Amino acid sequence: MDYKNVLTTCPYCGCGCGIYQSSIDGQLQRPIPDQTHPLSEGRLCIKGWSAHEHVASPDRLTTPLIRRGENLEEASWDEALSLVSSRLMELRKQHGPDSLAFLSSAKCTNEENYLLMKFARAVIGTNNIDHCARL
Amino acid sequence: MGIQEDQIREVQEIAGRLLLDKQVAAVVGLFSNHGHVGPHLFSSVDDLPGLALEPRYPLALDCRTLLSNFPKDRLGVVVRGCDERALIEMAKLQQVDMERLVFIGVACSDDQARQCACEKPYPRQIDVGEKVDGLSPLDDKKVQELIEQDMDARLVFWQQEFSRCIKCYGCRNACPVCICDECLLEETCWVEGGQIPPHTSFHLIRTFHIADKCVGCGACEAACPMEIPLTILNKLMREKLKELFHYEPGMEVSQRSPLITTLEEAPIRGL
């Protein structure tokens, strides 16, 4: 009988509502809004109530895809990341750091957003960093 | 605070005995960890020190999921009056097997009863706590104020309340008796898609759908981010049911709703 309720934060926006995500034998069940969360106090919006649905969705991407001509082809993470890093460095060398821009997400954690900012400014050397909430 | 701690100790003892005597495979209750409290499955006595009795969660939903996923096991469950009534309603619809549930009944305190404006703040069998009287729905100030007004004013009141709805479906999702396999609220012939606030039909369909099942637990209102006073609607509906049919949901599994209109041959499951 492997039933767990794991306390987590809704990943859908920057509000950070509290959810107990329940699972049975590793399969996600319904989310239970955390009544004791200081911010959301047991309430969720439609996004929080359905935040778990993409996990087992048949439409979910499970590997990186690389565009080759007209097609998107499945690739390994190593292959995809190597391509991204080599193209980024190529473009930076050819057109300068400000030819690149980085778009982070309200759905990421503070730490992930900080890391992307650091990467843009310290590694690439551009201030072109923004996030999806301003789109 | 002292009373609450004593009650926690008593529930821990009863749950511990059930687990150690192997009368149940596990106990459903609340667990406190790092200042957060949520539903938990106590599979061994090791977790029992973290047991909590507040706040209120609709635990019947967890019991239903667990019983259907583990069809051979017996479960203990720490129930308030509302949890027990919700499980009784679920049993009427063949959603849970009462034979496989062992209740640890906890009576709510006067404060808890007032907080929920609860009509019946205790389960049938009280193992822990002392019974306090419930509050009649008509004693509720908000209910009184509303029913003193004429029909037109009441309609305006509800239209204003419903105009805040963001259609999160929280009221339906949190409700322990809202358990249809297919939900009419998602059918566009009844509730137009992509429209916020939804038409008043959204709320009225739900009200009528649970009219003979609502056990007054207040989970719908607690889940509403827009603070729509849904319990008033359900309370008045329950009062009408009492007045017209002398029927109260959540009392006995053997009692049938006077509103069942399903033909004899049709399955009741997932009504």
Q: Where are the domains of chain B?
A: 3-135, 138-245
Q: Is A9 on the interface with B (CB under 8 A)?
A: no
Q: Do A43 and B36 touch (CB under 8 A)?
A: no
Which residues, 6+ apart, have CB-to-CB distance to A95 below 8 Å?
none
Enumerate the CATH 2.20.25.90 domain ranges in chain A, comma separated: 3-49
Q: Is B197 on the interface with A (CB under 8 A)?
A: no
pTM: 0.87
Q: Is the pLDDT of residue B140 over 90?
A: no
Q: Is the pLDDT of residue B190 over 90?
A: no
Q: Is the pLDDT of residue B267 over 90?
A: no
User: What pLDDT sits at residue B142?
Assistant: 84
Q: Is the pLDDT of residue B270 over 50?
A: no
Q: Is the pLDDT of residue B264 over 70?
A: no
pLDDT in tens, A114-133: 999 999 999 999 999 998 87
Most A CBs within 10 Å: which of B70, B112, B230, as the mutation test of the A interface?
B70
Q: How far A42 CA sits from the closest chain B CA (Å)?
A: 6
Of B65, B167, B223, the CB nearest to A29: B65
Q: Which residue has the higher pLDDT, B271 or A29?
A: A29
User: What pLDDT sits at residue A132?
Assistant: 80
User: What pLDDT sits at residue B268?
Assistant: 56
pLDDT in tens, B85-119: 999 999 999 999 999 999 999 999 999 999 888 99
Q: Is B39 on the interface with A (CB under 8 A)?
A: yes
pLDDT in tens, B30-88: 999 999 999 999 999 999 999 999 999 999 999 999 999 999 999 999 999 999 999 99
Q: Which residue has the higher pLDDT, A133 or A35?
A: A35
Q: Is A45 on the interface with B (CB under 8 A)?
A: yes
Q: Is the pLDDT of residue B24 over 90?
A: yes
Nearest chain B residue to A20 by CA: give it: B38
Q: Do A7 and B38 touch (CB under 8 A)?
A: yes
Percent of all residues in chain A with a pLDDT value above 70, rounded to a whole number: 99
User: What pLDDT sits at residue B183?
Assistant: 87
User: What pLDDT sits at residue B271?
Assistant: 45
Q: Is the pLDDT of residue B265 over 70?
A: no
- Judged by average pLDDT, the poorest of A65-74, B25-34, B182-191 is B182-191
User: What pLDDT sits at residue B181?
Assistant: 81
Of A1, A32, A48, the CB nearest to B39: A32
Q: Which of the following CATH numbers is that of domain B138-245: 3.40.50, 1.10.260, 1.10.1060, 3.40.720?
A: 1.10.1060
Cβ-defined contacts of B31-34 (< 8 Å, 24+): B33/A7, B34/A7
Contact A35, B178 (CB under 8 A): no
Q: Is the pLDDT of residue B262 over 90?
A: no
- Judged by average pLDDT, the poorest of A80-89, B13-22, B58-67, B176-185 is B176-185
User: What pLDDT sits at residue B45?
Assistant: 96
Nearest chain B residue to A35 by CA: give it: B55
Q: What is the ipTM, given to two decimal places?
A: 0.89
10 Å CB burial of residue B260 (0-12, 13-18, 19+) is exposed
Nearest chain B residue to A39 by CA: give it: B225
Of A1, A18, A48, the CB nearest to B43: A1
**Which 3 state secondary structure label does DSSP give A127?**
coil
- For the CA atoms of chain A, what is the radius of gyration? 19
Q: How far A103 CA sits from the closest chain B CA (Å)?
A: 29
Q: Is the pLDDT of residue B1 over 70?
A: no
Contact A132, A105 (CB under 8 A): yes
- Topology at the third CATH level for domain A3-49: N-terminal domain of TfIIb (2.20.25)
**Which 3 state secondary structure label does DSSP give B96?**
coil
Q: Name the nearest CA neighbour of B89 among B263, B234, B265, B221.
A: B234
